[in-house]
Amino acid sequence: MNADVIIIGAGPAGLCMAKSLAESGLKVTVIERASTNALASPAFDGREIALTHDSVHHMRELGVWDSIHPENIAPLRDARIFNSHSLTSLNFNHQDTTQNELGFLISNHLIRKAAFDSVKLSPEITLKTEAQITTIQTDPHQAIVTLSEGETLHAKLIIAADSRFSESRRTMGIAADMHDFGKAMMVCVMEHCIPHEYTAWEWFDDAQTLALLPMNGMRSSVVITLQPYEINRLMQLGIDDFNHELSSRFKNRLGAMRLTSTRHAYPLVTVYSKRFIAERFALIGDAAVGMHPVTAHGFNFGLKSIQTLSNEIKAALTAGEDIASPALLSRYEKKHRQQTRPLFMATHAIAKLYSSNHLPARVLRTGALRIASRIKPFKRAVAGLLA
């Protein structure tokens, strides 16, 4: 065997999985298309990640959290959901939980760097960068990956963490429910003159969805969802025109806004794999469950998949059992489906409702917000889920 486990994909999920398994003494090989330099110094990609307290705890255990400077970690204290032009909002407050905040916000590229820093010196982890996979094969006894230059790698288990558009998932014949909303989102960082008070906004307006994720200082990560041709237009606007348009789209609720970062655009697609496992093969992270990007919540599910699968593998090691047995992988699949399916489906339904511009949908969501805002047990339950 070249390794005990082969991980495909060196994003945050793949690297955190590698670190978790290496701490148990397993030999892990991580295969990644990008260069080592790209992993060591990832570029800003516009995305802010909302982390729950449980995710922060797991990142601490992996040695990832402490690599992120505190000034780059913003508390998420409250959240507000607006509908159309109404000033009424559905509010989720940290007072509804046992914590001082609902969670934390960190730039995705900083999580990527912290994850890389945590694994780069591990003697149990081999990183194969700028590598292309040509074939994946598994049988009851081993898993085999062949690289484009002809090298063949053998392992007991393959774990795929290669994005919601996972090629390895398709190679293994695993289908996925994929919903393309037919829209695109643009993300960037903007300064504003009115404090955000560490409150996240989700604003479902006519023909657009706006989100504001509070960063430290008078800055916020701004997310806007529109038709792709509208996003392309915003991406091409001059700075002054862009600042004016974004301020107007937010109805100047935070005053004049000014762009302070590059702009990035992404398709709006959700994914839920029909299976999370195959013979000596498992999916984690976005390859298993790709949440609606506007929620900024997907990496929490990625960390849950890591924790669940790692615990099963470590228990098998302790018992001297096969770390890729059908029974072990089936337990992982069942548990991770239970952890993710309810919130994924609820989020998906809400996103479809609030992305529709038809009159029945507009009436329904207005009524839903008013009712939900008056049901304190519901609000406490959602706030607790976020924390």
Any domain includes 141? yes
Tens-digit pLDDT string for the chain (387 aa):
689 999 999 999 999 999 999 989 999 999 999 999 999 999 999 999 999 999 999 999 999 999 999 999 999 998 887 776 655 556 566 555 556 788 999 999 999 999 999 999 899 999 999 999 999 999 999 999 999 999 999 999 999 999 999 999 999 999 999 988 889 999 999 999 999 999 988 887 767 888 899 999 999 999 999 999 999 999 999 999 999 999 999 989 899 999 999 999 999 899 999 999 999 999 999 999 998 776 656 899 999 999 999 999 999 999 999 999 999 999 999 999 999 988 888 776 666 555 555 544 454 455 444 544 444 443 444 444 444
Assess if residue 81 is contained within a domain: no
Establish if 221 belongs to a structural domain.
no
Q: Which one-letter DSSP state was computed for residue 68? A: S
In-domain check, residue 201: no
User: How far apart are the C-alpha atoms of 80 and 70, rounded to whole Å?
Assistant: 25
CATH value at residue 288: 3.50.50.60
- Rounded to two decimals, the pTM is 0.89
Give me the helix-helix angle, 108-119 and 12-22, nearest 10°: 30
Domain annotation covers residue 340: yes
Q: Report CA-CA distances (Å) from 342 to 210, 255, 302, 337, 385.
A: 24, 38, 15, 9, 11
Tally of domains within the chain: 1
Asked if the structure places residue 216 within a domain, the reply is no
What's the angle, vertex CA 184, arms to CA 192 and CA 263, rounded to 5?
A: 40
In a domain, 107, yes or no: no
78 bridge partner residues = 93, 199
Domain membership of residue 306 (yes or no) is: yes
| Residue 339, domain extent | 5-45+114-178+270-355
